[in-house]
Structure 1
């Protein structure tokens, strides 16, 4: 066949465009959902109170594995079945240690105290007289426990000026709090506070120390009259003007207040242990042997003269 009669064949490379599918749409949707959730959480946190944010922080401070397993010892155990003691009652071994830790777990106590706060707020909201005092109440969680502060204002003082005589609405408030405090097993501490305006007699006469103590005791009497159990009271103290409210001038009316603290159990035990017999720190205790002779009167007199000389 001649060159002129040969058919001309044209080969064209076929370009096939791959199909991307809708995977990018799913990724974009996930990203937008996460971004929306982020802004939603930021908006909720900005409008939440300090106590609500603290509760969220406590929730995330507890590891998920520990919360599900019921304790650190059990979560870290290598055994499939949690080990217990040699007897069926689990009085020894790992199981008993976990149970004791849960019973004294501090995370349970703030929840109970937060429920107490809600009960107090609901009781005040339900009473038309106490509802007017809502702005004079301060709630906060401290290292000692739930603190409820009843503060003064120039228009509505809790006590008569310079006196421990309780106002009628203050009496109503304290007697409303008494049965609510009985609902929790925690003991209560009461402290009185004053402003920095001194008495005429100064520290030598009747001063802010006596006034704050008398007001704390007057509050105690009203709580008892409202039905507070006798064993609930652990400490009644007067602080004078030594603990002013943050960001306040020493003479502000807000410093005239009564602070009720529903104590943590560990704090209450620490206060009760102050009456026990302690040891001097860094100094070895001088203990006489059972058969050692008692010091003579001459020896005691010589030591006394040496110390006084």
Structure 2
């Protein structure tokens, strides 16, 4: 008996499998690295001493801790102090540090340096032919503030034109020659102008104070022209006739002079402190002027 059931034909494709991609390789690589790290940690943990294990554990408990103590280096591993015997030996080998002698030694070295400077300046005056006719107007000596160079007027050879601050050629030569030597030391320099006792009557509101200050500043310019660094000059001032060399004869030309002092450090420090105090006082005065009266 025949049936009318349909005939089903099943076809099997025996071709190659589809490509599944390479993501599994990445996962396997991560797994391999993790296993390698795990076995490395196990090996290190097995080879570490109990003391090292203790400090490793302390690091994970307090990773931000101090360098000494849990999470940091052990004082037994990094000695902070030498054993007593070694410490005593080192203290015997090393010379004891000077306590109060450092400043004294520095002052002594500075004194020697300034003495050498004074000797060089005197030697230049005595041996340089350019000073042959004018050396009587120059005096170099040591004073408490440092090395002082005094340049005096003579009756027939003044350093400046009468009543003016224009430097004469011979004085310009002296100042510039001295500048080349003074510039070789680091000490600060002060420049002071002095006049005689004759009142200045050249123009209104201009006295020996202004004249002596202008002459000191003119001398400063010649020192700078001779090679003295600008920042090596600590002070420029005029004292008029307040410090006469010849008290018995205020009109003596020797009273008209320029003083240059190569300052000791203590003297230059005192000048800086005085200038700072004056500046602060000026600021305080300005503030007081702006404040309203109660």
Report the TM-score range of the alignment, normalised by the length of the smaller protein: 0.5 to 0.7
Distance 1:97 1:156, change over 3 A: same
1:136 aligns with 2:137: yes
Quote the Cα distance in structure 2 between the aligned partners of 1:269 and 1:89. 34
- Secondary structure of the 1:97 match is coil
* Structure 1 residues 265-276: aligned runs within 5 Å: 265-276=265-276
Quote the Cα distance in structure 2 between the aligned partners of 1:224 and 1:189. 13
- Secondary structure of the 1:129 match is helix
* Structure 1 residues 218-257: aligned runs within 5 Å: 218-257=218-257
Distance 1:87 1:234, change over 3 A: farther
Quote the Cα distance in structure 2 between the aligned partners of 1:132 and 1:219. 20
Contact residue 129 and residue 169 of structure 1 kept, 8 A: no
* Structure 1 residues 161-172: aligned runs within 5 Å: 161-172=162-173
Tell me the residue number matched to 2:106. 104
1:259 aligns with 2:259: yes
Quote the Cα distance in structure 1 between the aligned partners of 2:246 and 2:91. 56
Gaps of 5+ in 2: 1-87, 279-290
Alpha-carbon deviation of 1:102? 4.1
- Secondary structure of the 2:193 match is strand
Tell me the residue number matched to 1:5. none
Tell me the residue number matched to 2:15. none
Quote the Cα distance in structure 2 between the aligned partners of 1:88 and 1:214. 61
Gaps of 5+ in 1: 1-82, 279-299
Quote the Cα distance in structure 2 between the aligned partners of 1:187 and 1:270. 12
Alpha-carbon deviation of 1:201? 6.2
Quote the Cα distance in structure 2 between the aligned partners of 1:271 and 1:87. 44
Distance 1:86 1:128, change over 3 A: same
- Secondary structure of the 1:250 match is coil
* Structure 1 residues 53-92: aligned runs within 5 Å: none
Tell me the residue number matched to 1:95. 97
Distance 1:87 1:181, change over 3 A: farther
Tell me the residue number matched to 1:174. 175
TM-score between both structures, scaled by the size of structure 1 = 0.57
Quote the Cα distance in structure 2 between the aligned partners of 1:230 and 1:216. 14
Tell me the residue number matched to 1:124. 125
* Structure 1 residues 283-302: aligned runs within 5 Å: none
Q: Provide the aligned length of Structure 1 versus Structure 2.
A: 195
Contact residue 182 and residue 229 of structure 1 kept, 8 A: yes
Alpha-carbon deviation of 1:231? 1.9
TM-score between both structures, scaled by the size of structure 2 = 0.60
Quote the Cα distance in structure 1 between the aligned partners of 2:219 and 2:277. 31
Alpha-carbon deviation of 1:251? 1.0
Contact residue 139 and residue 148 of structure 1 kept, 8 A: yes
Quote the Cα distance in structure 1 between the aligned partners of 2:103 and 2:182. 26
